[in-house]
């Protein structure tokens, strides 16, 4: 009797029956070190009693009150909390359940803002190749994850992709780091001009790209130029910090490290740490004023908007992160993890690049290191790494299409912020062992020699 529609219709998944701290346990009693926080979610680790208690308390008071009829104290408190700790300029917040839902809300709000302020021709959203913004039709289309998009391409309209910022793959040998950043940013201007400057509503991007290319940061030079271009053409700037936000990179917002404030932030995973499905949209006063003085209401809404129990979970997660200094801890542990990755994989013949910020680190796997040649996609190396790591008791987050959307593999490590240095050591050791197991045998010898 198995009626649950799992992701794979062939494989049998272990059942997670218990979770505590940085570990999950299956029905056989096997223990898994959560080296990826699921997919960048469980920032506080599992089973935090204070968060569970806050949810229970809120559930006893009001578990659900439709946002059509009511506001709640808890949703107001969470909005106040987020705005108070957000980069200057952010002024209002609303809450939903998934990242995709919230990115799509941001895209729709960008369109509404322009219509409400007298520019109804602005309809295009520009995203970037090799980025990811969600699995709804509109967010898939605004993202550049080629494999996830492929099935649905015939259903897409209204968004366009520009260049990513991906120095390992696209910086020319004769270019400085800043020179490359400026060239990548100027591609946005070209795309805006191609579409017609009066037609573009917003530019959407991840300050540190997560799933698609594996922890690829922008740079202050890149984002400052992007901000200038957006301002020049009255294009709204939306930062998708669903993965990289809420402390994951060692600052509460990843964009703080680039010194740029967007018009909207989208948050999710680390917001409520997986205790509830929660996402947030933060907007600045300019967007709020445009809509307030336009039609006066948000022409978009979802049933579970501002869900009280979700808000209670998120508020408690944020309070604990502050009280326990977990963002600084993510920064320190990220530094340690990066050091371990460099020590173990720095000379590895099949690790082309080690990159990331804070506790969002990745290895890009290559067949030929000097030439940066990816492994053939048919090998499905990413999936073999995931399986081999899982068999050895480690959850990591590999993906494919890293190099150009089709080819290439990377592995993300993004553990909970409560992770210890010993946990980091264990994670890296298991990953090294898993890589040995899946790389061709002749290469394993070279790997061992390099270690
Ligand atoms: C950067 C980014 N944007 C959007 C999403 C989509 O979020 P969700 O899966 O909650 O819809 C994800 C999920 O991995 C993400 O990492």
Task: Specify the pLDDT at position 431.
Answer: 98
| In 150-261, alpha helices (H) | 167-170, 177-195, 220-232
- Secondary structure of 265-298 as H, E, C letters: EEECHHHHCCCCCCEEEEEEHHHHHHHHCCCCCC
With a 6 Å cutoff on the Cβ, whether 34 touches ligand 1 is no
Query: What is the Cα–Cα distance from 198 to 447, expressed in whole angstroms?
Result: 54
Q: Which atom of ligand 1 is nearest to the CA of 206?
A: 1
108 CA from centroid of ligand 1 (Å): 17
234 CA from centroid of ligand 1 (Å): 26
With a 6 Å cutoff on the Cβ, whether 45 touches ligand 1 is no
With a 6 Å cutoff on the Cβ, whether 99 touches ligand 1 is yes
Nearest CA to ligand 1 atom 6: 134
Task: Specify the pLDDT at position 448.
Answer: 52
Query: What is the Cα–Cα distance from 215 to 265, expressed in whole angstroms?
Result: 18
Q: Which residue has the tokens 């081999």?
A: 388
Q: Which residue has the tokens 């480690």?
A: 394
134 CA from centroid of ligand 1 (Å): 5
Q: Is 60 helix (H, G, I), strand (E, B) or coil?
A: helix
Task: Specify the pLDDT at position 439.
Answer: 86
102 CA from centroid of ligand 1 (Å): 9
Q: How would you write the pLDDT of the chain (451 residues) with one tens digit per residue? A: 689 999 989 988 999 999 999 999 999 999 999 999 999 999 999 999 999 999 999 999 999 999 999 999 999 999 999 999 999 999 999 999 999 999 999 999 999 999 999 999 999 999 999 999 999 999 999 998 888 888 888 778 888 999 999 999 999 999 999 999 999 999 999 999 999 989 999 999 999 999 999 999 999 999 999 999 999 999 999 999 999 999 999 999 999 999 999 999 999 999 999 999 999 999 999 999 999 999 999 999 999 999 999 999 999 999 999 999 999 999 999 999 999 999 999 999 999 999 999 999 999 999 999 999 999 999 999 999 999 999 999 999 999 999 998 999 999 999 999 999 999 999 999 999 999 999 865 455 455 554 4
Nearest CA to ligand 1 atom 7: 99
Task: Specify the pLDDT at position 340.
Answer: 98
Task: Specify the pLDDT at position 442.
Answer: 44
With a 6 Å cutoff on the Cβ, whether 133 touches ligand 1 is yes
Task: Specify the pLDDT at position 23.
Answer: 98
Task: Specify the pLDDT at position 446.
Answer: 52
100 CA from centroid of ligand 1 (Å): 6
With a 6 Å cutoff on the Cβ, whether 206 touches ligand 1 is yes
| In 175-255, alpha helices (H) | 177-195, 220-232
- Of 106, 125, 134, best ligand 1 pocket probe by most atoms within 8 Å of the beta carbon: 134
With beta carbons less than 8 A apart as the criterion, state whether 208 and 215 touch.
yes
With a 6 Å cutoff on the Cβ, whether 164 touches ligand 1 is no
Query: What is the Cα–Cα distance from 122 to 115, expressed in whole angstroms?
Result: 7
Q: Which atom of ligand 1 is nearest to the CA of 244?
A: 1
133 CA from centroid of ligand 1 (Å): 5
Query: What is the Cα–Cα distance from 301 to 288, expressed in whole angstroms?
Result: 16
């Amino acid at each position: 009797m198995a009626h649950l529609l799992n992701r794979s219709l062939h494989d049998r998944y272990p059942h997670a029956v218990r979770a505590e701290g940085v570990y999950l346990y299956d029905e056989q009693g096997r223990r898994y070190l959560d080296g990826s926080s699921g997919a960048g979610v469980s920032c506080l680790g599992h089973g935090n009693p204070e968060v569970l208690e806050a949810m229970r308390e809120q559930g006893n008071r009001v578990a659900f009150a439709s946002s059509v009829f009511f506001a709640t104290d808890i949703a107001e408190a969470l909005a106040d909390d987020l705005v108070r700790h957000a980069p200057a300029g952010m002024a209002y917040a609303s809450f939903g359940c998934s990242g995709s839902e919230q990115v799509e809300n941001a895209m729709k709000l960008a369109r509404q803002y322009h219509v409400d302020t007298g520019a109804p021709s602005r309809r295009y959203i520009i995203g970037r190749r090799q980025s990811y913004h969600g699995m709804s039709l509109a967010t898939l289309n605004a993202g550049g994850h080629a494999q996830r998009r492929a099935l649905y391409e015939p259903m897409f309209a209204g968004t366009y992709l520009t260049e990513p910022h991906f120095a390992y793959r696209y910086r020319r040998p004769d270019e400085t780091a800043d020179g490359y950043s400026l060239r990548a940013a100027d591609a946005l201007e070209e795309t805006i001009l191609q579409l017609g400057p009066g037609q573009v509503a917003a530019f959407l991007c991840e300050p540190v790209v997560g799933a698609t290319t594996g922890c690829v940061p922008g740079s202050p030079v890149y984002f400052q130029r992007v901000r200038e271009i957006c301002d020049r053409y009255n294009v709204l700037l939306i930062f998708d910090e669903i993965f990289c936000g809420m402390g994951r990179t060692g600052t509460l917002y990843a964009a703080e490290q680039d010194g740029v404030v967007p018009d909207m932030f989208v948050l999710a995973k680390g917001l409520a740490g997986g205790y509830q499905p929660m996402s947030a949209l933060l907007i600045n006063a300019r967007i709020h004023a445009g809509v307030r003085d336009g039609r006066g209401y948000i022409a978009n809404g979802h049933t579970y908007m501002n869900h009280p129990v979700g808000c209670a979970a998120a508020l408690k997660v944020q309070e604990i992160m502050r009280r326990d200094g977990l963002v600084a801890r993510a920064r320190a542990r990220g530094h340690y993890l990066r050091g371990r990755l460099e020590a173990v994989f720095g000379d590895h013949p099949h690790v082309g690049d080690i990159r990331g910020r804070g506790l969002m680190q990745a290895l890009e796997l290559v067949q030929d290191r000097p030439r940066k040649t990816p492994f053939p996609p048919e090998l499905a190396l990413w999936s073999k790494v995931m399986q081999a790591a899982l068999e050895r008791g480690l959850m990591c987050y590999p993906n494919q299409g890293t190099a150009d959307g089709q080819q290439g593999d990377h592995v993300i490590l993004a553990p909970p912020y409560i992770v210890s240095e010993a946990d980091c050591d264990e994670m890296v050791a298991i990953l090294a062992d898993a890589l040995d197991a899946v790389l061709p045998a002749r290469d394993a010898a070279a790997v061992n020699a390099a270690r």
